[in-house]
């Protein structure tokens, strides 16, 4: 009966000798000691098993699962395992499609922000999104045990950092208060959140919307920062009708802090 050394098997399958030892420790294969030189060798039956292990590993099955498929399962049970793995791959494909959409959205957002920074425009369509906010600015874990914002920030990359500045805070005599948090894309939110969460956090901003992109370089926001935007809105014959919403489109530190914010607010004639 043909025998193969550890080195021969490892080379033929493109794995390391340590991998073969690991397979053996799990009971997937069994080596035999050569009485003459004490080298470990594998029989033909083991090479067949190793080949199937290699195939199943490439399909994403775990080693414990592979052991069951090779040594414990009936053919029908193996077929069921493949059906389950197909379902897992379908789920992975869906997640990758969502990730691709987020990559494209981030890319478009950065391009748009750079291109139109400092300009203002009107869009007739309204906007719906999920908004989860807390008072103050910045990410904090202090006393955040029951803060929903911490949990929603874990939904990255499907969230956007942002701010909500209340309409009342835009008045000349009012304090400049705002909330910090995240916005969640509605398409993703509908697939992910419970109905009660959607009802609690969904915000619908009626059109038309006045929009602008503001570039900051480390400075804090103030009413003065928005004066030109509000003056432009008035010059177009509109008045502010909602809170002001800001979404971070790009943020980085390179020589100095740079952030592009896209702001939008509902207006009426």
Query: For 217-244, what is each residue's pLDDT tens digit?
Result: 888 788 888 989 999 999 999 999 999 9
3-class secondary-structure state, position 117: coil
pLDDT of residue 178: 84
Q: Which residues pair with 249 in a beta bridge?
A: none
Average pLDDT for residues 4-22, to the nearest whole number? 80
The pLDDT, as a whole number, for residue 221 is 80
- The pLDDT confidence band at residue 260, using thresholds 50, 70 and 90, is very high
Range of lowest pLDDT (34-48, 61-75, 253-267): 34-48
How large is the average pLDDT for residues 50-61?
91
Record the pTM.
Answer: 0.75
Tell me the three state secondary structure of residue 262.
strand
Pick the CATH number of 109-268 from 3.20.80.10, 3.30.1490.190, 3.30.365.10, 3.40.190.10: 3.20.80.10
The CATH architecture of the domain made up of 3-72 is Orthogonal Bundle (1.10)
Residue 35, pLDDT > 90, answer: no
Q: What is the pLDDT of residue 138?
A: 56
In the prediction, which pLDDT does 235 show? 96
Q: How many angstroms separate the Cα of 111 from the Cα of each of 107, 125, 250?
A: 6, 21, 9
**Which pLDDT score is estimated for 264?**
96
Specify the DSSP class assigned to residue 146: T
pLDDT for position 50: 85
Hey, where are the domains in the chain? 3-72, 109-268
**What is the rounded CA–CA span in Å between residue 145 and residue 27?**
45
Mean of the pLDDT values across residues 55-83?
Answer: 95
> What does the pLDDT look like over 128-182, one tens digit per residue?
999 998 876 555 555 555 577 888 888 889 999 998 998 887 777 777 778 889 9
Above 90 in pLDDT, residue 17? no
Which secondary structure element, helix H or strand E, spans residue 34, and what is its range? none
For residue 1, what pLDDT is reported? 47
Q: How confident is the model at residue 38 (pLDDT cuts 50, 70, 90)?
A: low
- pLDDT confidence of residue 150: 81
């Amino acid at each position: 009966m043909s025998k193969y050394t550890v080195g021969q098997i490892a080379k033929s399958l493109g794995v390391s000798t340590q991998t073969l030892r690991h397979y053996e420790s799990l009971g997937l294969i069994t080596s035999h000691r050569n009485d003459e030189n004490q080298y470990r060798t594998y029989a033909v039956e083991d090479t067949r098993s190793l080949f199937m292990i290699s195939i199943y590993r490439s399909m994403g099955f775990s080693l414990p699962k592979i052991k069951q498929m090779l040594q414990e399962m009936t053919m029908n049970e193996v077929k069921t395992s493949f059906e389950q793995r197909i379902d897992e791959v379908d789920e992975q494909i869906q997640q990758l499609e969502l990730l691709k959409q987020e990559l494209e959205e981030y890319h478009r957002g950065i391009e748009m922000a750079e291109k139109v920074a400092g300009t203002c425009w009107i869009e007739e369509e309204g906007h719906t999104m999920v908004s989860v906010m807390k008072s103050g600015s910045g990410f904090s874990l202090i006393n955040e045990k029951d803060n929903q914002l911490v949990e929603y920030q874990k939904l990255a990359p499907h969230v956007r950092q942002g701010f909500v500045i209340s309409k009342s805070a835009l008045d000349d005599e009012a304090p400049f208060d705002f909330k910090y948090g995240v916005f969640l894309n509605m398409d993703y939110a509908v697939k992910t959140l419970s109905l009660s969460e959607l009802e609690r956090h969904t915000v619908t901003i009626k059109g038309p919307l006045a929009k602008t992109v503001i570039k900051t370089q480390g400075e804090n926001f103030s009413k003065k920062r928005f004066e030109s935007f509000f003056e432009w809105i008035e010059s177009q014959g509109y008045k502010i009708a909602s809170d002001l919403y800001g979404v971070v489109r790009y943020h980085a530190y390179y020589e100095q802090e740079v952030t592009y914010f896209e702001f939008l607010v509902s207006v009426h004639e």
